[in-house]
Structure 1
Amino acid sequence: NVRRIFLTATPFRRDRKAMEAKLTYHYSLRQAFDDNILRPIDFAGVRAGTSDYDSDSILIEAAKKAFDEEKSRNPVSLMIRTDRIIHAKQLLDRYNSSGLKVDIVHSDRNDKENKCVINKVKERKLDGLISVGMVSEGLDIPLLKIAVFHSTPKSIPYTIQFLGRISRQPTEQSGNAILVANTDEVRGEVYRLYNSDETWAKVVPQLIDESMRKARYYRSALIGDSDFVLPDLNIYFSSIIYDVEDNFHFDTNFTVKNASPYRISYISQQGINTPLVIITEIDKPIEWANGDICIDNYLDIHVLYHIPEKNLLFELTSSKEALGAFSDSLYNGDIKNICHSKLYKALSQFDKENYLMVGMKNAVMPGSSHPSYKTFMGSSVQDTIRNSEGRVFAVGHALMQMGEEKTWGIATKKGRVWAMKRGTLDEYQSWCDIIADLLTSSADQSTLPGLSFLASSTPIAMLDEIPASIIPDDSFFKANLLSISIRGDKVYTNVVPNIEPRSFDKTNGNLICDLHIESFSCQINMNFDNTPLWTVNSDKEIKVTLVKNQNNASTKSLERILNDYPPTLIMPKGYIIEGRTKITPNSSIEDLPDRLWVKKNWRNCNIMAEAYNPKPNPKKLPVINQAIEYIKAEFSGGSDVLILDDGAHEIADIIWIQGAEHFIHYIHCKPSSTSKPGCRKRDCDIVFTQAMRSIHWVYSELIFERLRERLGGKSKLILGNQQLLEDIANHFRVNKWRYRIVVAQPGFDIEKVSNRTRRNNNVYELAIPTYERILAGSADFEIWGS
């Protein structure tokens, strides 16, 4: 029961431990200035550049000038700060050469040597001292009045602690203290301090007060008290919404994962029909402190509202990572992101469309002419969006206004709804109830009101065919610094997995795919009847680590990532699938250009044979050999290269590189299913799929690196030579080249397959999405037929 009082002049810890006391009184620097306990500091900032040697010269000159001027009026000492011992030794020679007498204090010297230097300064046998890092802590030299920073502290607490050495007001001196520093090397939180027009007598107290306020805000000493009461919340109205089953409920015995650094600090729920509020805490490193300083008991709040009669779960969290530390244990029952067509109903009560913002995501395939995302902003911005955008784009997010008081938004990526307002927990619950009524009140909508020309979204519960290709989520794999670790294998950094559909069983809806991460591969499955949607079948544990900064990284299983950020399925019929949502671009206006259809003479070709033959019968050429003959007619021996890409995971059957023209052709060859050309769907299924996959190599910086790898295997140069290929690669600039993707299928009767009005012309219908995706990737497209 002993009461203890903890006094400190520097309430900023550099370790991870807590201040085991509640802050009850803070004597501010502003008050210390007013009471004449501390004297103001004049900042003598110089623009000394970033070169160590030159900036040292300018700082030494400024320090010598300030010292000589002060010495004529007051007894004075100066302290010089750097962060390296070797730099201190260099400065020692240069300061003494300037006419000042100084010595060094640092950790490699013993206490006796350091004390000797300090005493010489006190006795005025030395003009000052050079200190390294935090060695200046605890120094007591009354006449210190000038400080020189050759290495500027990067944090406010350390800056203030150092300046405490010169801000004391001895009776022997008059006037303000002086700090000399290089403003050109200032970074981080001290930038405002060194670049302010205000005097430091005003700025320093302001910054310290702000630091203390933040420290009180983040510290949670009171939250552990038995009489703690949750304060009135001021919640931003935002929620990710999930569909849940009838048996879903919160498990009151939930726990945090064993390996998690998060701790549960507080749980509150007024009743079974009210939001559950959970507060977690963590000792969180401060980013700008290189992990040396932690915000003790950093708090996150999670508001979770289950509405059983609507089968909905509303999830609001200040940290998805913190929520993930216990959500698997808390959520008893399956949850699924609501589909887009259900989400759109959140804006259905707005009787007049006035969009302030519309974000559109690419529903075909990102390319240089069509980015992965577009955003329009402005009043009634929907009027500025062209109808033709619906050929490529679907709704990504939208913000709609109804009157001055009501502005709501939706985002399809995670199924989020938000409102531009804050309120209490009760008000937030009422808002969630309104949203729940809207989501369950009427039929689903395929798009947002006023944006019907964009690609439409509908729920999907089953596949009817194997996808043409599968694309991992770019927003996760390409936009983040991440690593993929495979137990027993190695760690892959900043790689995008390659997913290839292998087979589809229509009887049970099971899609089997191969996932490749460089040399590693495993099987993954997708089935709409299962939860989770995607499963990973591998005897090796595969983890994905997202690195936010050196002190903040989160790790999840690959299976969790595939379900949180589901891959996009590109379907042969022109639509795509994201998670459990089908997105269909508006292609009703399509007419394919005549130049796309190219008639070729296949008279000397065995149109039912594909594989390349190095010594073919000239009257019965395989399809690949015949395609090579067409290329030879335009091939330039001095500048062109022709590669036969053979084996699994080929880029294309033939790659024709025209060096002088800066033109790359990816040519995919397939044999006819019969000896007579016609208009048969089975002749186009595989080759159109391959054509769409090669879009990945259009405008790719890695194409020549990949070709070198392929040429080390079964692939080979047919025309041209290796040296010419290397010369082209060395001068390759991706945006200086043109690209064409070619489908060579002699089984196509061009007159028939190019006739859109022909009944049951499946080839034409499947050519439309293929053409759209290739065009979106900024490549030309040709179909060679008979």
Structure 2
Amino acid sequence: MSFFSERQQYLQFFPNGAELSLRKNQRGAIHALAAHFTLHDTPAIITMPTGSGKTTVICATPFLLKAKRVLVIAPSVMLKGHMANAFTTLNSLKKTGLFTLDAAPKVKVVTGTVKTPEAWEELRAFDVVVVTPHTVSPARLQVPLPSEDLFDVVIVDEAHHSPAHTWNELLDAFPRAQRVLFTATPYRSDSLELNGEHVYTYPTLKAFEDKIFGEVNPQRITPQDGETADLAIARQAEITLMQDRGRGHHHYVLARAATKDHAEALLDVYGKNTSLRMQIIYSKHTLKHNQGILDLLEQGELDGIITVDMLSEGVDIPRFKIAAVHALHKSLAITLQFIGRFARTGEDKVGPASFIYTPSDGLNAEIERLYEEDAVWATLLPQLADARIEKEEEDKAFFQGFDPGSFDYADFAGFSLFSLRPYHHVKVYDLPDGFEIPESVTLESNHRTVFKKDYPKARVSVLIFRYLDKPKWIRSDFLTQYHYELCIVYHNKEHGFLFISSTEKTEQFYQQILKHFIASTVSALPSPVSMSITNKSLHNLTQVQVFNVGMRKIRGNRDETYLYRIGNRADNVIDSADGKIYDRGHAFCKAQENGKDVTLGFSSAAKVWSNRTDKIPDFIHWCDALAIKFRNGSNPVTGTNLDYLGVREPIASLKGFDLLTIDWNPRFYEEPGKLTVEVHGQPQLLSPEDAHLWIDYESIKNDRFEFHLEIGSLTIKMMYLLGSTFRVENMDEKITCSFVDQQGRTLEIGEYFQSHPPVFRCVNGDMIEGREAIRLSSLPKSPFDAQLIQAIDWRGAGVDISKEFGTPNSIHNWLEQRLVGAAQADDVVFYDHGSGETGDFITFAVKEDCIHIHIYHVKSCKNRVVGERVSDVYEVCGQVIKSVKFRDLPPAEMFKKIKHRFENTSGKKFCNGDLAKLETLLKSRLPIEIHIGLVQPGMAASKITERTSNVLAATQAYIMAQCAGFLALGSS
């Protein structure tokens, strides 16, 4: 039998039926502890504010649990001495009358490192062993593992220190022991997890109500001219002590310093400028040295002490009532412990506590609230302390909802989700339903899933991927190393949004994750939310200050398709004129929300972010708040010039949109990559410059249409589908096509279009990108003047208007003769008909010290009679609009493109001039004018319909906004 089990019967709560002097919080903690271990073997966490009688409960615990041998773990030498003394004397139990025997357990204080199994075994001779983890933790190489049965009860004091590796290894060394963790604050300043189950929490508010804590008077000091902050605090501490002693209070001063050097400087300040007798206590001094100074204090030889650490651990002197805080704690936990040490009552000749400080920068929001000039501590202290404890318990309950998880490497065996701090950055998808958490996630890339934990009820999955990587500037594997990526997938079912937060932000990665988490019953991947949704992130924000704005060009030439504006007030350079040319691409700002400072960014790529990191529960709350805004928020007005930039609206139908052209997303031209095409299993890698998109106008319906992707000589039929989601499908089973980015990552072409939606221009000026539209039809338009169509007598010229090329009487042949045979023929006439053409004919001539370039597009009349065939008009106008890209090329690139076409594709020829002449001309550095024209015999000024007129007007307006001239050749 051990000391505690033999004498448990003498631990009496109600001798003779009378309640003893135990406080009710102490009774509650003891009973909760006893109840816990009747059902569970998990560590028990007892939370009691500093000064509320925790030592008494600690000393009662071994009796309660009938301990054979107890290990007490303390975080510091001073607290180790305090706990050793508490068990050696059992004074805290005897003072309450809880234990009346004149007996005490055999206590051993371990002072050196335990280096041998024999040293561990020698501890069996004691009832209580008190240690600091650094001397006995098996985490240290020289410390061997002890026998698992050496201790049957393990007590941790000030348990907010315990998640450190050395603590955990020591606790895990005794898996069969009953483990009890005592703390004043069940959370760590580094926000790591405190392992165990909360069995009893005594709120700070109750400590005030039960008179365990008394009044605390904050004294905010502003230094006078010529005073330092330290001098001002020291003088006020002297004044306060003299006033308190004049009222009969037996108080001491505790001055807190930031460092040992600061403490030495403060000792000089107090010695030279006050009458206070002060000495320094420092945790790295010996216990004997520090105790000697505390003895002098009790003997009245000192008025106070200066300490570098908080001194609340291991020092039980209720007469410390004046806190001279020369260095504010930035941790709420330590601040509350420190204040609690001064706030407690229960001693004669002790009055209210004083807390003297000066304002400080760099504190977190909770601490700033405490130190505000008008803060009422009697109200605020319990609010801050209890809210933080309640939050910690809520977080622990949240993490308990996760399944055991899976991991590939032993390194993750002890890994805790509590330690994760995801950056607030998400890509958001429309997903009313159809979410399922997969059993495993296997990516096509070299990312290997090494950790996965799921919370099915909350619809959350946390994954960690590992991959090998090396710098691009080395050929060998010498610097190859492992990298890790974090991904959190969360589905807010209530509002129908899927959030993916990933440190790997490539579109290929998002698409692969989507495929795993979308239910098999869903026919297509969900669409990223539109800009009109992410823009609602601004809802309810005030005092918006914009730092970064991206503006997408919606009309005009292709120069600067995306502009960035960066600065403290980046929106100031935006005006109403910009709103007619650009809309919102992204924005990043800071603002106020419900009285708190926030940062917010959002983009047209369905991404939202905030410059903060938090635990996973806080991250989920942030996503939930966004989901509410996305579903219920109004279109925000910021009061900044950002409001000049429009926001594209989502569309569910093409009804009312008269499509004219289709083009790649602007990012296609900006992001380096290649298109890979596989025909019958044979892959080809092609340049995006050789890829062109064309609408099949006759297939257009309200919710779909076909378009062609031409790559070299290949044509792939694609289907654009619009509804609750937007997607693009490859209709050709024999040909597969993918986009390969600069890092070699591959995305199937349909998936690529989903993340890089094609851009459509409509006849009335409206523009569609994927499933978002921006209405430009309200802008003034000029009608097309039908008299601008140059009438050609095709029959008189012997032209068969149904023959576009390939015969002597074709339109191409006629146009060639016209261009070459003119009285002043252009210097160079290049015939470029074929897939990927800039135009059927491109001419170059120097006129008036300027290079005039004419680009001609030809379309035949299928019916051999003059009359409008709508699809022909749309097609040729689409070609005309696309050829505007030629003007964006520098002269050297123009030459390179034509040279490549001439030398590598059949049927290309110089009708006039040659490559050498073209090169000389383009090297002349003369300014360039571009004129673009169309040749369509089916058009006649006298027979043109309103629809064709609108198409021509839109084409003319687009061309004239960027080029020098537009011409149309038709029939009379």
TM-score (normalised: structure 2): 0.49
Q: What's the counterpart of residue 520 of structure 1? A: 714
1:629: how far off? 4.8
Contact 1:359 1:373 in 2 (8 A): yes
1:362-377 paired onto structure 2 within 5 Å: 362-364=553-555, 367=558, 370-377=559-566
The partner residue of 1:440 within 617, 631, 640 is 631
- Closer/same/farther in 2, CA of residues 482 and 735 from structure 1, 3 Å limit: farther
The partner residue of 1:468 within 648, 660, 663 is 660
Aligned length, in residue pairs: 549
Q: What's the counterpart of residue 515 of structure 2? A: 328
**Aligned-partner Cα distance in 1 for 2:807–2:752:** 49
The higher relative CO (CA closer than 8 Å, separation ≥ 6) is in 1
1:292 maps onto 2:487 in alignment: no
> What is the one-letter code of the residue matched to 1:318?
T
The partner residue of 1:239 within 401, 404, 426 is 426
Q: What's the counterpart of residue 492 of structure 1? A: 685
**Which has the higher mean CA deviation after the structures are superposed, 353-362 or 298-307?**
353-362
> What is the one-letter code of the residue matched to 1:582?
A
- Closer/same/farther in 2, CA of residues 230 and 602 from structure 1, 3 Å limit: closer
- Closer/same/farther in 2, CA of residues 253 and 235 from structure 1, 3 Å limit: closer
Question: Which blocks of at least 5 consecutive residues in structure 2 are unaligned?
Answer: 1-114, 116-137, 143-406
Q: Deviations over 1:46-87 (max 9, x none)?
A: xxxxxxxxxxxxxxxxxxxxxxxxxxxxxxxxxxxxxxxxxx
1:572 maps onto 2:763 in alignment: yes
1:742: how far off? 2.0
Q: Deviations over 1:15-58 (max 9, x none)?
A: xxxxxxx99789xxxxxxxxxxxxxxxxxxxxxxxxxxxxxxxx
- Closer/same/farther in 2, CA of residues 669 and 475 from structure 1, 3 Å limit: closer
Q: What's the counterpart of residue 319 of structure 1? A: 504
Contact 1:605 1:626 in 2 (8 A): no
Q: What's the counterpart of residue 172 of structure 1? A: none
The partner residue of 1:350 within 532, 541, 559 is 541
Contact 1:597 1:783 in 2 (8 A): no
1:696 maps onto 2:889 in alignment: no
1:354: how far off? 3.9
Contact 2:851 2:929 in 1 (8 A): yes
1:148-227 paired onto structure 2 within 5 Å: 224-227=411-414
TM-score (normalised: structure 1): 0.59
- Closer/same/farther in 2, CA of residues 231 and 584 from structure 1, 3 Å limit: same
Contact 2:549 2:588 in 1 (8 A): yes
**Aligned-partner Cα distance in 2 for 1:498–1:652:** 13
**Aligned-partner Cα distance in 1 for 2:632–2:724:** 27
**Aligned-partner Cα distance in 2 for 1:226–1:705:** 58
SS of the aligned residue for 2:548 comes to: strand
**Aligned-partner Cα distance in 2 for 1:346–1:745:** 49
Contact 2:716 2:735 in 1 (8 A): no
**Which has the higher mean CA deviation after the structures are superposed, 622-631 or 683-692?**
622-631
Q: What's the counterpart of residue 742 of structure 2? A: 547
Q: What's the counterpart of residue 441 of structure 2? A: 255
Contact 1:680 1:762 in 2 (8 A): no
**Aligned-partner Cα distance in 1 for 2:474–2:805:** 65
- Closer/same/farther in 2, CA of residues 242 and 598 from structure 1, 3 Å limit: same
1:633: how far off? 5.4
- Closer/same/farther in 2, CA of residues 741 and 480 from structure 1, 3 Å limit: same
Contact 1:260 1:325 in 2 (8 A): no
Q: Deviations over 1:399-441 (max 9, x none)?
A: 23324822212110x2011123333222222221221111100
Contact 2:828 2:910 in 1 (8 A): yes
Q: What value does the CA root-mean-square deviation take over the aligned residues? A: 4.5
The partner residue of 2:600 within 405, 408, 411 is 408
Identity %: 18
- Closer/same/farther in 2, CA of residues 628 and 696 from structure 1, 3 Å limit: farther
The partner residue of 2:494 within 287, 292, 309 is 309
Q: Deviations over 1:91-129 (max 9, x none)?
A: xxxxxxxxxxxxxxxxxxxxxxxxxxxxxxxxxxxxxxx
1:727 maps onto 2:888 in alignment: no
1:656: how far off? 2.6
1:311: how far off? 0.5
The partner residue of 1:431 within 619, 622, 641 is 622
- Closer/same/farther in 2, CA of residues 447 and 535 from structure 1, 3 Å limit: farther
1:446: how far off? 12
Q: What's the counterpart of residue 154 of structure 1? A: none
1:317: how far off? 0.3
**Aligned-partner Cα distance in 1 for 2:502–2:900:** 48
Q: Deviations over 1:692-729 (max 9, x none)?
A: 122233344256644774696456555x34x4x53113
**Aligned-partner Cα distance in 2 for 1:623–1:705:** 22
**Which has the higher mean CA deviation after the structures are superposed, 430-439 or 538-547?**
538-547
> What is the one-letter code of the residue matched to 2:717?
Q
1:663-674 paired onto structure 2 within 5 Å: 663-669=852-858
Q: What's the counterpart of residue 828 of structure 2? A: 641
- Closer/same/farther in 2, CA of residues 610 and 643 from structure 1, 3 Å limit: farther
**Aligned-partner Cα distance in 2 for 1:529–1:646:** 37
> What is the one-letter code of the residue matched to 1:253?
E
**Aligned-partner Cα distance in 2 for 1:752–1:505:** 25
Contact 1:276 1:304 in 2 (8 A): yes
Contact 1:358 1:381 in 2 (8 A): yes
Q: Deviations over 1:119-178 (max 9, x none)?
A: xxxxxxxxxxxxxxxxxxxxxxxxxxxxxxxxxxxxxxxxxxxxxxxxxxxxxxxxxxxx
**Aligned-partner Cα distance in 1 for 2:598–2:640:** 17
The partner residue of 2:586 within 379, 390, 397 is 397
Greater Rg, structure 1 or structure 2?
2
Q: What's the counterpart of residue 70 of structure 1? A: none
- Closer/same/farther in 2, CA of residues 448 and 374 from structure 1, 3 Å limit: farther
Contact 1:478 1:494 in 2 (8 A): no
SS of the aligned residue for 2:560 comes to: coil
The partner residue of 2:727 within 533, 537, 555 is 533
SS of the aligned residue for 1:563 comes to: helix
SS of the aligned residue for 2:718 comes to: strand
Q: What's the counterpart of residue 417 of structure 2? A: 230
